[in-house]
Amino acid sequence: MTDSARPKSSVAQIRARFDADVDRFSNLETGQTAAMDSVLAQTLLAQAAARITPHAQRILDVGCGAGNFTLRLLPHLPHREIVLLDLSQPMLDRATERIRAVSHGSIETVCGDVRELHRPDQSLDIILAAAVLHHLRTDAEWDAVFAAFHRWLRPGGSVWIYDLVTSQIPELDALQWAQYRHYLTSMQGTDFADKVMGYIDDEDTPRPLMEQLDRLRHAGFAQVDVVHRHGCFAAFGAIRTADSLA
């Protein structure tokens, strides 16, 4: 679907689109409607994170948007220390408002790009990343971000990702993109499908799911698994075990 050789939107252009789209990302019941199974996938990942990292205290939400992913986790792990990262200040403001309404844990906000984020090593227990990593461009960026996730997590910590993915089999990839267009059309019509597919072409460079799992292992995560997949969207996670300190 996407052509990694064509010029992509700049960070400023992506930020401007999200600055103007806060309300659409602020409904916990419907989730991100342009993403297949977003409510189910984030719910499953929140349950997995709480089960696998039950003593978590500090959580980083990468590309937090209006805060839905963190809000799904907080009922399982209430009143934790939350770090919110997003390109969009209006998104951060809305996420902070919504999280403060249900949690008295501390909230730190960072307006910026995950590729430029610096955190102390072994300072986090859980990392969440929903519909954000597909903005990464090069192999080096993917490897650097996954390596940073591994460094930032304490042993026993975990990372949980829900995102747009591709397939390494061309025929299957084409089928899944066609299914996704059909899904978008059934949701809100052809114009909506054209709009979403247009900004995917402009902004996004998703990678195959299996490639991302391999990159997580290469970054040092010894335990990696898929929680849910539906077409070109997948939910998956990785654990930094005590013996994976590379």
Domain contains 189: no
pLDDT of residue 242: 77
Domain contains 155: yes
CATH code for the domain of 125: 3.40.50.150
Domain contains 109: yes
pLDDT tens column, 125-182: 999 999 999 999 999 999 999 999 999 999 999 999 999 999 999 999 999 999 999 9
Question: What total number of domains does the chain contain?
Answer: 1
Model confidence, pTM: 0.93
Domain that holds residue 74: 12-164+208-239
Lowest mean pLDDT among 29-38, 159-168, 186-195, 228-237: 29-38
Find all residues with CB under 8 Å of 38, minimum gap 6, and list them. Answer: 31, 32, 68, 130, 131, 162, 233
pLDDT tens column, 201-214: 998 999 999 999 99
Please determine, for residue 43, whether its predicted confidence score (pLDDT) is greater than 60.
Answer: yes
pLDDT of residue 1: 47
Q: Contact, 222 vs 243, CB < 8 A?
A: yes
Find all residues with CB under 8 Å of 235, minimum gap 6, and list them. Answer: 37, 41, 42, 44, 45, 160, 161, 162, 226, 227, 228, 229
Three-class DSSP category at 153: strand
Distance separating alpha carbons of residues 91 and 67, to the nearest angstrom:
8
